[in-house]
Chains A and B, each alone.
Chain A
Amino acid sequence: MAEKVGIYVCHCGSNIAGTVDVVEVAKWAGENIKDVVVAKDYKFMCSSVGQQMIEEDIKKEGLTRVVVAACSPHLHEKTFRRVCENAGLNPYLMQMTNLREHVSWVHNDKEKATEKAKSLVSASAERVKLQEPLEPMYAEINPVTLVVGGGIAGLQATLELANAGHKVVLVEREPSVGGHMAQLDKTFPTLDCSACILTPKMSEAAQHDNVTLLTYAELEEVGGSIGKFKVKVRQKARYVDFDKCNGCSACVDKCPVGAKARKLAEQKLPVRDADGLIPNYFEEGIGYQGAISIPFPQAVPRVPVIDRDKCTYFKTGKCGVCAKVCPTDAINFDQEDEILEMTVGNIIFATGWKLFDCKKTPQYGYGRLPNVFTNMEFERLVNAAGPTDGNIVLEDGTEPKSVAIIHCVGSRDEEHNVGCSNVCCMAALKLGHLVLEKTNAEVYDFYIDMRTPSKMYEEFYQRLMQEGMHFIRGKVAEVTDAARTPEEEGKLIVQAEDTLAGTQRRIPVDMVVLMGAIEPQADAKEVGLRAGISCNLAGWYTELHPKLDPVATMTDGIFVAGACQGPKDIPASVAQGAAAAARVQGLITKGSVMIEPIAARIIEEECSGCRLCGTLCPYNAISFDEEKKVSRIEPAMCKGCGTCVAACPAAAIIGPHFKNDQISAEIEGVLWDAIADQKEQAEA
């Protein structure tokens, strides 16, 4: 029995109708395509009137197949599938023709565009006749969520979920949660104490009944799919028994390897590259530690970590001072890395950012000239809990009389990062404020453009102008010790073109702060690959939609939050953390998720076990059954891309909705005029 096909051509206002003669397309389809019983055009097919028209036609005319020639299926495939479903027609018997993105938006010539539209409608019609009714599948959602990264974005996501009653596993690779925010002294524009607002969240996460906190741990492997990801986490050996340790830090205070570091710390100076000392990552290279350390006093958890490579006991078998002084017998030199395996329903990546290596802009003298600091070093320098007790001092311990802050170091720079790092203008204003508040120094701020686009940010900029910070608009050419005048002797001279005054400025200062670019983590790409998240050219994780779906990714059940998706400040990171948590909660509440019934399947009797499909599958959805010697497809992981279907030498794989005869029919549909010509010639 012949199918009854309905064709619906949308004007999309003038979006399609402006370039395609939609009336002609509908008329032509009705007259020329076989089995078409209805062919209509309408101004907005997605409107309720348009939808109703289709629904009624299905019922009245008994349509068995529907073609909607409108926009991209990304936009309205779901809409028109629902229309079919409402009318009692299996939704997979509807096919969309993309007349907007594929025709009207990319062509100018109305006549040719109309011909192309006819071909595409013909293709859809021929294809849809061979489509089969399909039933969607559902995957259950495991209510446990994995959050990767314990900075502010990850903490927020964790707490949102935990407080909503869901179990969360939070994995952080450093020994403490807190991320970069824990290193900051003040936050802009309100100038509230960063630690004061962050540490409650850190401890709440650690103590929460619903949270399993794994610090000094890294995500190693992600398998499975939404609802039931199987993950492996490496818990690195701390060499300290987590349960026994009471955080008294006696071991840290007595470690002989740290003796010199402790002595140096007494001087309260910002010393970089101290000979033979072990830098503490948290202090950004201006603070040092022993072989056993707690990164900072408010660390969560307050359980030390032994650096195996630096520890005398591990090198020589002697020492063990930490073990001797530990009152709870918590030191365990025999500890080993552990691989923890778990199943989680969703994963949120909040893996953060890293600072640009300021040595890559050697013209600013970082690493070469004294008293040139990165912004993160300076954050520790102004922090009351930092190596100098928050006193802003030069390397020799004296107070600077003048400080220059240089924006856009490694950002907005074609040599390094083209993009804007988003937060540095405001961070520079904040640091400038702290210098003015704590010292008598003059502050010179060299900026390209001052970017203060959020609530109360511009007001903060105005405030700094009132406070007397000097602003010079121009990209700094160099920071040099090459003095030209006696006043410049012994100073760091900052040279820039003042683009507002139209003149070269040379300003001698005592201290320079470089606002380094915010960059993706060094291993962002590699970590992303493990979970099926892609990165853009700059290396930031790609969200599903830059405007309308900013925390989801191309992989269902994997979400991103915070600076791993692009440079952002604390409020934006918190908002994204919460947004990702909300998305996950939605899935957990629903309990299951629909999976498109387009998964490929293997006809076991015809599979030769060559495994070619398994090596090609981009979603790791194909495994090999050793017993039966055949390949097997996990439907929940298959995205129906058709790679295996096309590759199988035995044609043993079927891709429902993308069967060979359907594709062939579609091609024949596109070539309707050539086929018609051929027939004519044959008849003649």
Chain B
Amino acid sequence: MKYAYYPGCSSECNAAAYEISTQAVAKALGFDLIEIEDWNCCGATEYFSQDELTACSVIARNLALVDNDLDQVVASCAACYLNLAKVDKLMAEDSKMSGLINQALAAGSLQYEAGRLQVRHLLDVVCNDFGEEKIRAMVKRPLTGLKVASYYGCQVVRPFKDGDCTEYPMKMDELFKWLGAEIVEWGAKAHCCGGHMTQLSDPDAFELLRRILKNADDNGADIMATMCPMCQLNLDAYQGRVDGMFNTKFRLPVVYFTQLLGYAFGLDTKSLGFGKELVPAEPVLKAKITA
């Protein structure tokens, strides 16, 4: 199977572990991620607050660059996925806007017809294109005994629920069940991680992080899995400072779902980017996995 692939900026720096493990898992499952040539920034949330047409045009350029023989584009980053999906939908629903965007794209001799591509998140591809049977069959190192708290954040499940439940998503949990892990039921799984609030206000941002970490911890999580580089960064990198501010003692490793997937497939931890997280995950995996 072949998919156009939009890596997004964080794949090259803070989310390198996500990128490495995504490639490793894709290889193991046997699908090709064909990187969009000359892709550009998705604009995250900032462009949209400046000028909608500019933001949409910048995003649409990535869609327009996808090879004509591909009909699906996959993003691993939650924000990238949402932006690509949002613009595709907007263009389909608003012909005037679609026309303006295509005028902008025409300056670079590009054009995009809404609906030509199906925009998908990597989790959806893994869960639905491969499915339970195939994935279970590939598990060589089951995650038995490991209590995983799946953290969804906001952008993959809202506003497009992508076949999952917006209020209490379960897709990632299902995947971890297939891998043999014990899933943690916890209320904060789709609460806000604060996003860029860490750059603006420590007390506000850290309070949001504390609530999430505490709820996972209270419900007995050994490890937290995410599918968003922003969430991972916030929850992992600021744990020490959250501890400092609230006098807590969180030691909860936060990894990407692809890392646990690759781990269960028996892939080498180096090839999955383990060790790049600040709260080390490997000791927890070794200690908790009983099989």
A480 B187 Cβ-Cβ under 8 A: yes
* Bound-state Cα–Cα, A674 to B208, Å: 76
**Docked-complex contact B167 and A363, CB < 8 angstroms:** yes
Cα A478 to Cα B168 in complex, Å, equals 10
Q: Are A482 and B214 in contact (CB-based, < 8 A)?
A: yes
Indicate with 1 or 0, residue by residue over A355-395, a CB within 8 angstroms of chain B CB atoms: 00000011101001100000000000000000000000000
* CA–CA, A482 and B214, complex, Å: 8
Q: How far is the CB of B182 from chain A (nearest CB, A)?
A: 15
Binary flags per residue of A483-494, CB closer than 8 Å to B gives 1, else 0: 110000000000
Taking the complex as formed, is B211 at the interface, i.e. its CB lies under 8 A from any CB of chain A?
yes
A residues 332-369 near B (Cβ < 8 Å) are: 361-363, 365, 368-369
Give the number of residues in B that approach A within 8 Å (Cβ atoms). Answer: 16
A481 on the interface (CB 8 Å rule)? yes
B191 within 8 A of A: yes
| A365 neighbours in B (Cβ, 8 Å) | 187
Establish whether residues B191 and A482, one from each chain, have CB atoms under 8 Å apart when the complex forms.
yes
Given contacts A365-B187, A368-B185, contact A481 B218 (CB under 8 A): yes
Cβ-based interface call for B215 (8 A): yes
Q: Which among B168, B185, B211, B215 is the interface contact of A363 at CB below 8 angstroms?
A: B168
B186, CB-defined interface residue at 8 Å: yes
In angstroms, Cα B187 to Cα A362, docked, is 9
Could you say which of B186, B187, B207, B218 contacts A478, with CB atoms under 8 Å apart? B187
A483 touches B165 (CB 8 A): no
- Complex interface residues of chain B between 186 and 214 (CB less than 8 A to chain A): 186-188, 191, 207, 211-212, 214
Cβ distance B252 to chain A, nearest Cβ, rounded Å: 15
In the complex, residue of chain B having the shortest beta-carbon distance to the beta carbon of A367: B185
Which interface residue of A363, A480, A482, A484 has the most chain B CB atoms within 10 A? A482
Min distance, Cβ B48 to any Cβ of chain A, angstroms: 24
- Report yes or no: B211 in contact with A362, Cβ–Cβ below 8 A: no
With A and B bound together, what is the CA distance between A363 and B212 in angstroms? 16
Q: Please determine whether A482 and B168 come into contact, CB atoms closer than 8 angstroms.
A: no
The answer, among B165, B170, B211, for a CB contact under 8 Å with A484, is B211
Structural contact, B168 and A483, CB atoms closer than 8 A: no
Q: Are A481 and B167 in contact, CB atoms less than 8 angstroms apart?
A: no
Q: In the bound complex, do residue B185 and residue A482 qualify as a contact, i.e. CB atoms below 8 Å apart?
A: no
Residue pair B167, A478 in contact (C-beta under 8 Å):
yes
A481-B187 contact given A361-B167, A362-B168, A363-B168, CB 8 Å threshold: yes
Q: Determine the residue in chain B with the shortest Cβ distance to A361.
A: B167
Q: Total interface residues on A, using CB and 8 Å? A: 12
| Residues from chain B with Cβ under 8 Å of A363 in the complex | 167-168
**Contact pick for B215, options A362, A368, A369, A482, CB 8 Å:** A482
The chain B residue with its CB closest to the CB of A479 is B187
CB distance from B160 to the nearest CB of A (A): 14
Set of chain A residues within 8 Å of B191, measured between Cβ atoms = 482
B207 — which chain A residues lie within 8 A by C-beta? 484
Q: A365-B187, A368-B185 are in contact. Are A482 and B211 (CB under 8 A)?
A: yes
**A362 and B218: CB pair below 8 A?**
no
* Given A365-B187, A368-B185, A481:B215 Cβ within 8 A: yes
- Cβ–Cβ < 8 Å partners of A478 in chain B: 167, 187
Nearest CB of chain B from residue A99's CB, rounded to whole Å = 40
**A484 cross-chain contacts in B, Cβ below 8 A:** 207, 211
What is the CB-to-nearest-CB distance from A416 to chain B, in angstroms, rounded to a whole number? Answer: 12
**Chain A contacts of B214 at CB under 8 A?**
482-483
Complex alpha-carbon distance, A225 and B185, angstroms: 55
Residue of B nearest to A490 (CB): B218
Q: How far is the CA of A481 from the CA of B215 in the complex (A)?
A: 8
Q: For the complex, what is the distance from the CA of A52 to the CA of B235, rounded to whole Å?
A: 87
Alpha-carbon distance A501/B187, docked complex (angstroms): 26
Residues of B within 8 A of A369 (CB): 187
Pair B188/A480 contact, Cβ less than 8 Å: yes
B212 to chain A: closest residue by CB: A482
CB interface residues, A 160-184, toward B, < 8 Å: none
CA separation between A481 and B188, bound complex, in Å? Answer: 9
Who on chain B is nearest to A359 by CB? B168
CB distance from B231 to the nearest CB of A (A): 16
Which residues in B have their C-beta under 8 angstroms from that of A481?
186-187, 215, 218-219
Within 8 A of B (CB), among A4-45: none
Complex Cα spacing A441 to B186, Å: 27
Kindly supply a per-residue 1/0 record for chain A positions 285-329, scoring 1 wherever the CB is within 8 Å of any chain B CB and 0 otherwise. Answer: 000000000000000000000000000000000000000000000
Residues of chain B in range 245-272 having any CB-CB distance to chain A below 8 Å: none
Residues in A neighbouring B219, C-beta threshold 8 A: 481
Chain A residues positioned under 8 Å from B187 (CB to CB): 365, 369, 478, 480-482
A475-529 at interface with B (beta carbon < 8 Å)? 478, 480-484
Give chain B interface residues in 60-77, CB to chain A under 8 Å.
none
Which partner residue on chain A sits nearest B207 by CB separation? A484
Least CB distance from A477 to B in Å reads: 8
- With both chains docked as a complex, state the minimum distance between the C-beta of A362 and any C-beta of chain B, in angstroms: 3
A519 to chain B, nearest CB (A): 19
> Which A residues, 571 to 619, have Cβ-Cβ distances below 8 Å to chain B?
none
Residue from the list B165, B188, B212 in contact with A362, Cβ < 8 A:
B165
- Chain B, residue nearest A360 (CB): B165
In B159-190, which residues have CB < 8 Å from any A CB?
Answer: 165, 167-168, 170, 185-188
On chain A, the residues within 8 Å of B170 by CB distance are 362
Chain A 454-482, CB-CB to B under 8 Å as 1, else 0, gives: 00000000000000000000000010111
Q: How far is the CA of A484 from the CA of B168 in the complex (A)?
A: 19
A478–B211 CA distance with the chains assembled, in angstroms:
15
Residue of A nearest to B210 (CB): A484
Point out the residues of chain B lying under 8 angstroms from A483, CB to CB. Answer: 214-215, 218
Nearest-neighbor residue (CB-CB) of B189 within chain A: A482
- A482 touching B167 by the CB < 8 A rule? no
Q: Which residues of A contact B211 (CB under 8 A)?
A: 482, 484
Residue ID in chain A nearest B167 by CB atoms: A363
Chain B min CB distance to A488 (Å):
10
- Are B165 and A482 within 8 A (Cβ)? no
- Min CB distance B103 to A, Å, is 35
How far is the CB of B2 from the nearest CB of chain A, in Å? Answer: 34
Cβ–Cβ < 8 Å partners of A361 in chain B: 167
Report Cα–Cα, A478/B170, bound state, in Å.
Answer: 16
Expressed in whole angstroms, the minimum distance between the Cβ of B183 and any Cβ of chain A is: 11
Closest chain A CB from B249 CB (angstroms) = 17
Chain A min CB distance to B246 (Å): 11
Q: A481-B186, A481-B218, A482-B187 given; name 13 further pairs at CB < 8 Å.
A: A361-B167, A362-B167, A363-B167, A363-B168, A368-B185, A478-B167, A478-B187, A480-B215, A481-B219, A482-B215, A483-B218, A484-B207, A484-B211
Enumerate chain B interface residues (CB-CB to A < 8 A): 165, 167-168, 170, 185-188, 191, 207, 211-212, 214-215, 218-219
Interface of A with B (CB < 8 Å)? 361-363, 365, 368-369, 478, 480-484
What 5 pairs between A and B have smallest CB-CB spacing? A362-B168, A480-B187, A363-B167, A482-B215, A482-B187
21 residue pairs A–B, Cβ–Cβ below 8 Å: A361-B167, A362-B165, A362-B168, A362-B170, A363-B167, A365-B187, A368-B185, A478-B167, A480-B187, A480-B215, A481-B187, A481-B218, A481-B219, A482-B186, A482-B187, A482-B188, A482-B212, A482-B214, A482-B218, A483-B215, A483-B218
